[in-house]
Amino acid sequence: MSSVDKLINKFLSRKNITVEDCDRLLIYYGYEYHKTGGSHRAYHQKGSKSITVVIPKKSKYVTQLTLI
Protein backbone atom coordinates (compact mmCIF):
# COMPACT_ATOMS: atom_id res chain seq x y z
CA MET A 1 0.00 0.00 0.00
CA SER A 2 1.47 3.37 -0.99
CA SER A 3 1.83 6.29 1.40
CA VAL A 4 -0.97 8.13 -0.44
CA ASP A 5 -3.29 5.15 0.01
CA LYS A 6 -2.47 5.09 3.73
CA LEU A 7 -3.18 8.81 3.94
CA ILE A 8 -6.54 8.36 2.18
CA ASN A 9 -7.47 5.60 4.63
CA LYS A 10 -6.53 7.91 7.49
CA PHE A 11 -8.92 10.56 6.12
CA LEU A 12 -11.70 8.04 5.65
CA SER A 13 -11.35 6.81 9.22
CA ARG A 14 -11.13 10.45 10.46
CA LYS A 15 -8.22 9.69 12.77
CA ASN A 16 -5.94 12.53 13.83
CA ILE A 17 -5.64 14.42 10.53
CA THR A 18 -2.99 17.15 10.63
CA VAL A 19 -2.57 20.24 8.45
CA GLU A 20 0.49 18.56 6.93
CA ASP A 21 -1.62 15.51 5.98
CA CYS A 22 -4.11 17.80 4.22
CA ASP A 23 -1.31 19.64 2.46
CA ARG A 24 0.35 16.43 1.18
CA LEU A 25 -2.89 14.93 -0.11
CA LEU A 26 -4.22 18.09 -1.78
CA ILE A 27 -0.91 18.82 -3.52
CA TYR A 28 -0.73 15.19 -4.66
CA TYR A 29 -4.12 15.61 -6.35
CA GLY A 30 -3.08 18.80 -8.12
CA TYR A 31 -4.32 21.53 -5.80
CA GLU A 32 -2.15 24.60 -5.27
CA TYR A 33 -1.74 26.30 -1.93
CA HIS A 34 -2.55 30.01 -1.95
CA LYS A 35 -1.30 31.88 1.08
CA THR A 36 -4.06 33.40 3.15
CA GLY A 37 -3.96 35.29 6.40
CA GLY A 38 -5.07 34.09 9.77
CA SER A 39 -6.04 30.54 10.60
CA HIS A 40 -7.13 29.40 7.13
CA ARG A 41 -5.24 27.76 4.26
CA ALA A 42 -6.86 27.85 0.82
CA TYR A 43 -6.14 25.35 -1.96
CA HIS A 44 -7.25 25.87 -5.56
CA GLN A 45 -7.42 23.76 -8.68
CA LYS A 46 -8.68 25.02 -12.01
CA GLY A 47 -12.16 23.67 -12.70
CA SER A 48 -12.72 22.52 -9.11
CA LYS A 49 -14.12 24.05 -5.97
CA SER A 50 -11.64 25.63 -3.57
CA ILE A 51 -10.84 23.80 -0.36
CA THR A 52 -10.17 25.68 2.86
CA VAL A 53 -8.41 24.04 5.80
CA VAL A 54 -8.97 25.68 9.18
CA ILE A 55 -5.82 25.51 11.27
CA PRO A 56 -6.60 24.62 14.89
CA LYS A 57 -5.35 26.91 17.67
CA LYS A 58 -5.00 24.51 20.58
CA SER A 59 -4.49 21.22 18.79
CA LYS A 60 -2.36 19.94 15.95
CA TYR A 61 -5.32 18.09 14.41
CA VAL A 62 -7.69 19.57 11.85
CA THR A 63 -11.32 19.76 12.89
CA GLN A 64 -12.86 21.35 9.79
CA LEU A 65 -12.46 21.25 6.00
CA THR A 66 -14.62 23.48 3.83
CA LEU A 67 -15.41 23.32 0.12
CA ILE A 68 -16.11 26.73 -1.39
- CA–CA gap between residue 1 and residue 6 (Å, rounded): 7
The pLDDT value recorded for residue 43 is: 92
pLDDT of 10-67, one tens digit each? 888 877 888 888 899 999 999 999 877 788 889 999 998 888 888 888 888 887 666 6
- Residue-range domain boundaries for the chain: 3-67
